[in-house]
């Protein structure tokens, strides 16, 4: 068998080998699962796991569908708001769902909470948490970087802390760790559903949870007790055979899958891993795979419940949840002979370690071919920096394997030739690896341990070793490597791989080094080869919790004041967007025709802009400044059709808005891929945009645009993209008679006065059309609240 095989089909049945994971098949619980009362987490009182609701929902769904269900379907349909009447067709129906919890990181939480405040509700309807991980910039090392961040961001942290206290939200202080690792350690539960305002929320799929990244407006719906809407996902099955070993890690599974499916191959689908190979993966290894599923556009990814998850739950002081999940395991795995829309097979026994990139996470190269690819493509061979950690690969197991490699190099008298940084995923991981000597292992070979935060992974890196525009190479164990993502340098070639390969390669300082086959010279002049990395799935002495960085909300937060200064440049209360005027959009200038890859990083840059995430006016000054203008090949330089001048995208957009002129954006394929940041939709709306027309959208961004009252429209004929330029005006006709499912006419008026019509389509449904008419989903929520 080859290491991976893609079986494309509209519907494929599971193979008999599924039997090992589906011994109970379609069986249902013999006794009422709801007779047990198990807390959802150790940090929230009175919030219990509701497996009984899932059981009841699935009994209804099974009687209606009369077919085996995938594990993803069991969780999704088990959370239907109305299973009796809900239309259910994968890839077609819009489902109304009731997630169990919401999680927000600090950069997105600001806008989510500001929107929730507008709803005027006393507390969140479901358990919610906020995690301070995005605003800490990496400069010199953990403690100093954290102290500086707490000082610089005091206003924002105070706002979040008081808002969380007022609205019953758990607050994780700066230094706690990265949201996804905190969720895995404290809140993830097999079979439950969570939405999070970060695209890597699917990390919790490593504990068998359907966890989806969303924009803040979706989070506000759930926090306000409104069902969450999601198009019924298709399900892509990834069958894992064989056994993981040697230099191959769980990271290599998702690097391989990314190479097969590409950055948009998972759009509209849940990736469901299954098969006997699952048993050789640790719980945190499964989380790594699910985490990076965001890079293929997947709604989420998940694994079936197994003993490795039970072990992790026990190690994180949640034995009661482990036992409860074991009692419910008939619904925590796929049914025998369930159908997948597409199927991939990977043999873990023959899977090679991979390195993906540069500039895109789906350019997958096995390590045996990587050196030749470096030479063939003239990628800078010198490795400037190796970075391990992040939300994707910062578990105890990851760190223990990297420490093993570091110790072996140190035993030969070597220090890292490249800069080497280490980011612990949480305070618990940091304290535990410090106790067990791993931090000492990293520091003695020249490594720098950064704060428990996102840091360079999201562009929070004050990098000094190269100048902007200087071509260079870095290797990370992160998840995303778009142009300029890590250090704002478009010439940095960023490669993504496992922590093992990153650690080994920093001792060679060269991309061409293959630790599986190549030797290094020790300080004694003798050559040696690295042995296969060894690590520990879980700490033998248990986890050390470290410092207590959690703030629980008071029983009654009604008296807590959440102050936002009118003069603040970090926080700004929101004003409602104007509702639709009931007219067609006539001769709206094309603000920019974006060429090629246009991610949410291009639409709303991260890095230093993160500090303005709570101030819509200020952060809107970064709108589309990274997008490439198809007319001139430049970034942040577009035509102002009012006077014929050229200027920055936000400046031209604001001039149209202030003159009462709506405008549109034209985009290419998979527009808005990457981060879940809703600012990429809020900013165009704030600056006067009315529609985005492109060849295809990334799921989260398309939903975010709808939520803010924008029209996300697809070219009916993708080739029509070529008919439009930045000198054109766009009329969107027939809006008064529009019904969901209908196409719309778009009239293009060219600079010379010539006109031509094209067709566009959309995925807008009835409820979403209501958002457009109301001006935004938040406007509709507020209006409904007034009626009630």
CA 237, CA 674: separation in Å to the nearest integer?
22
- Mark whether 442 and 478 lie in a shared domain: yes
Does residue 551 form part of some domain? no
What is residue 86's predicted lDDT score, i.e. its pLDDT? 97
**Residue 44 belongs to a domain:** no
The whole-number pLDDT of residue 40 equals 97
Strand order through the sheet with 419-423: 364-366, 354-356, 492-496, 472-476, 383-389, 419-423, 448-449
The list of the chain residues with pLDDT below 70 reads: 1-31, 788
Q: For this structure, is 134 an active site residue?
A: yes
* Angstrom distance (rounded) from CA 159 to CA 573: 12
CATH number of the domain residue 453 falls in: 3.30.499.10
Give the CA dihedral 644, 646, 650, 654, nearest 10 degrees: -20
Using alpha carbons only, give the angle 431, 435, 436 rounded to the nearest 5 degrees. Answer: 120
- Tokens representing 122 are 């006393």
Contacts of the segment 513-520: beta carbons below 8 A, 24+ positions apart: 513/371, 514/367, 514/368, 514/370, 514/371, 515/247, 516/246, 516/247, 516/353, 516/367, 516/368, 517/368, 520/409, 520/412, 520/414
Q: Give the Å distances, CA to CA, from 148 to 145, 387, 712.
A: 5, 21, 40
Indicate if 334 and 185 belong to the same structural domain: yes
**Could you give the number of structural domains in the chain?**
3
Residue 290 neighbours by CB under 8 Å, 6+ apart: 202, 203, 204, 205, 206, 211, 271, 300, 301, 302, 303
**What residues contact 691, with CB distance under 8 A and at least 6 apart?**
585, 588, 664, 665, 710, 711, 712, 713, 730, 732
67 has catalytic annotation: no
Contacting residues for 490 by C-beta, under 8 A, at least 6 apart:
468, 469, 483, 484
Answer yes or no: is 153 within a domain. Answer: yes
Q: Is 133 among the catalytic positions?
A: yes
Residue ranges making up the domain that contains 434 = 354-528
- For residues 323 and 382, membership in a common domain is answered with no
Can you give the pLDDT at residue 19?
32
pLDDT recorded at residue 17:
35
Is 621 in the same domain as 710?
A: yes
**Of the residues 497, 528, 559, which one is the last residue of a structural domain?**
528
DSSP state of 177: B
Q: Would residue 128 count as lying in a domain?
A: yes
Same domain, 238 and 377: no
**Residue 274 maps to a domain:** yes
In a domain, 714, yes or no: yes
Residue 506 has phi, psi (to 5 degrees) of -65, -20
Residue 124: both structure tokens together: 């969140």
- CATH code, 640: 3.20.19.10
List the one residue out of 784, 771, 783, 763 whose CA is nearest residue 231.
Answer: 763
Q: Tell me which H or E stretch contains 729.
A: strand 729-733
User: Taking a C-beta distance cutoff of 8 angstroms, is the pair 330, 191 a contact?
Assistant: no
Same-domain check for residues 141 and 259 = yes
Among 100, 106, 145, 198, the one annotated catalytic: 198
Whether residue 202 is found in the same domain as residue 317: yes
Query: Among the three residues 289, 317, 347, which one is the final residue of a domain in this structure?
Result: 347
Same structural domain for residues 297 and 411?
no
How far, in Å, CA of 485 to CA of 739, rounded?
Answer: 40
Residues β-bridged to residue 342? 8, 236
Same domain for 362 and 339:
no
Local structure of residue 35 (DSSP, 8 states)? G
What are the two backbone dihedrals, phi and then psi, of residue 518, each rounded to the nearest 5 degrees? -95, 155
Q: Is residue 56 part of a domain?
A: no
Residue among 441, 675, 696, 776 flagged as catalytic: 675
Among this protein's residues, is 13 annotated catalytic?
Answer: no
Q: How far apart are CA 129 and CA 131, in angstroms?
A: 7
Residue 106 is a catalytic residue? no
**Interstrand relation of 383-389 and 472-476 (parallel, antiparallel or unpaired):** parallel
- Choose one of 347, 364, 386: the last residue of a domain: 347
pLDDT at position 31 is 57
What angle is formed at CA 46 by the lines to CA 41 and CA 48, rounded to 5 degrees? Answer: 55
Contact (CB, 8 A) for 482 and 359: yes
Token pair for residue 193?
A: 């559903």
Residue 328 to residue 167: CA distance in whole angstroms: 32
Maximum Cα–Cα distance across the chain: 81
Pairing of strands 234-241, 339-347: parallel
- Preceding omega of 77 cis (within 30 degrees of 0): no
User: Distance between CA 227 and CA 117 in Å, rounded?
Assistant: 18
- Residues 75, 217, single domain; the answer is yes
Tell whether 511 and 603 lie within a shared domain.
no
Q: Does residue 538 sit within a domain?
A: no
Nearest to 685 by CA among 745, 572, 772: 772
Active site residue 480: yes
Q: Rounded CA gap, 670 and 679, in Å?
A: 17
What are 391's two structure tokens? Answer: 């939300």
Of the listed 463, 677, 690, 699, which one is catalytic? 677
Same domain, 450 and 341: no
- How many residues in total does the chain contain? 788
Nearest to 620 by CA among 641, 605, 637, 640: 605
- List, in order, residues 6 or more apart from 556 with CB less than 8 Å away: none
Active-site residue, selected from the candidate residues 101, 480, 493, 570: 480
């Amino acid at each position: 068998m080859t290491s991976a095989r893609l079986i494309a089909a509209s519907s494929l049945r599971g193979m008999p080998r599924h039997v090992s994971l589906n011994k109970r098949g379609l069986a249902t619980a013999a006794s009422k699962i709801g007779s047990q009362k198990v807390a959802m987490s150790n940090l929230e009182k009175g919030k219990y796991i509701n497996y009984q609701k899932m059981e009841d929902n699935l009994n209804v769904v099974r009687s209606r569908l009369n077919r085996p269900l995938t594990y993803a379907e069991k969780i999704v349909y088990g959370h239907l708001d109305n299973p009796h009447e809900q239309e259910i067709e994968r890839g077609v129906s819009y489902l109304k769902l009731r997630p169990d919890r919401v999680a927000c990181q600090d950069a997105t939480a600001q806008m989510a909470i500001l929107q929730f405040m507008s709803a005027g509700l006393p507390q969140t309807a479901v358990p919610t948490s906020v995690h301070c991980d995005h605003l800490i910039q990496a400069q010199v090392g953990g403690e100093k970087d954290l102290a500086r961040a707490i000082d610089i961001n005091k206003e924002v942290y105070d706002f979040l802390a008081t808002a969380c206290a007022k609205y019953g939200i758990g607050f994780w202080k700066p230094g706690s760790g990265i949201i996804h690792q905190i969720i895995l350690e404290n809140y993830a539960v097999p079979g439950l559903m969570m939405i999070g305002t970060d695209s890597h929320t699917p990390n919790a799929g490593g504990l068998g949870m359907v966890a989806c990244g969303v924009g803040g407006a979706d989070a506000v719906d759930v926090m306000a007790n409104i069902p969450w809407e999601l198009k019924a996902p298709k399900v892509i099955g990834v069958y894992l055979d064989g056994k993981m070993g040697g230099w191959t890690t769980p990271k290599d599974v998702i690097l391989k899958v990314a190479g097969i499916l590409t950055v948009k191959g998972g759009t509209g689908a849940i990736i469901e891993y299954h098969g006997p190979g699952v048993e050789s993966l640790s719980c945190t290894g499964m989380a790594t795979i699910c985490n990076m599923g965001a890079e293929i556009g997947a709604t989420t990814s998940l694994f079936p419940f197994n003993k490795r998850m039970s072990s992790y739950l026990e190690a994180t002081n949640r034995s009661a949840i482990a036992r409860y999940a074991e009692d419910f395991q008939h619904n925590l795995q796929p049914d025998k002979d369930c159908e997948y829309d597409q199927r991939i097979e990977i043999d873990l026994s023959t899977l090679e370690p991979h390195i993906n990139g540069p500039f895109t996470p789906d350019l997958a190269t096995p390590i045996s071919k990587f050196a030749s690819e470096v030479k063939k493509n003239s990628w800078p061979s010198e490795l400037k920096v190796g970075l391990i950690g992040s939300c994707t690969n910062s578990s105890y197991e990851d760190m223990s394997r990297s420490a093993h490699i570091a110790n072996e190099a140190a035993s030969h008298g070597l220090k890292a030739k490249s800069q080497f940084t280490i980011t612990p995923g949480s305070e618990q991981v940091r304290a535990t690896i410090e106790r067990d000597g791993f931090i000492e292992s990293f520091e003695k070979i020249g490594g720098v341990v950064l704060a428990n935060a996102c840091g360079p992974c999201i562009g929070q890196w004050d990098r000094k070793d190269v100048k902007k525009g200087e071509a260079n190479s870095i290797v990370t164990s992160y998840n995303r490597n778009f142009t300029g993502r890590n250090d704002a340098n478009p010439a940095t070639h960023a490669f993504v791989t496992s922590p093992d390969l990153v650690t080994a390669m920093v001792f060679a300082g060269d991309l061409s080094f293959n630790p599986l086959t190549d030797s290094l010279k020790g300080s004694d002049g003798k050559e040696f080869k690295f042995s296969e990395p060894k690590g520990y799935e879980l700490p033998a002495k248990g986890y050390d919790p470290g410092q207590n960085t959690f703030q629980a909300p008071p029983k009654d937060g009604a008296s807590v004041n959440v102050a936002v200064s009118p003069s603040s440049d970090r926080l700004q209360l929101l004003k409602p967007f104007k509702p639709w005027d009931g007219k067609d959009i006539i001769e709206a200038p094309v603000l920019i025709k974006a060429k090629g890859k246009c991610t949410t990083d291009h639409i709303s840059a991260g890095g230093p802009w993160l500090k303005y995430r709570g101030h819509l006016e200020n952060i809107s000054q970064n709108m589309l400044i990274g997008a490439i203008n198809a007319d001139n090949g430049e970034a942040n330089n577009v035509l102002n059709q009012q006077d014929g001048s050229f200027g920055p995208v936000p400046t031209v957009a604001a001039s149209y808005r202030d003159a009462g002129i709506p405008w549109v954006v034209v985009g290419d394929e998979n527009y808005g891929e990457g981060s879940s940041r809703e600012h990429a939709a809020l900013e165009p709306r704030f600056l006067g945009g009315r529609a985005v027309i492109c060849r295809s959208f990334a799921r989260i961004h398309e939903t975010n645009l709808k939520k803010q009252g924008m029209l996300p429209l697809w070219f009916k004929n993708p080739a029509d993209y070529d008919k439009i330029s930045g000198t054109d005006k766009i009329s969107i006709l027939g809006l008064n008679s529009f019904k969901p499912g209908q196409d719309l006419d778009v009239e293009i008026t060219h600079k010379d006065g010539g006109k031509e019509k094209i067709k566009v389509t959309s995925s807008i449904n009835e409820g979403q059309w209501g958002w457009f008419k109301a001006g935004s989903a938040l406007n509709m929520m507020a209006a409904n609240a007034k009626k009630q």
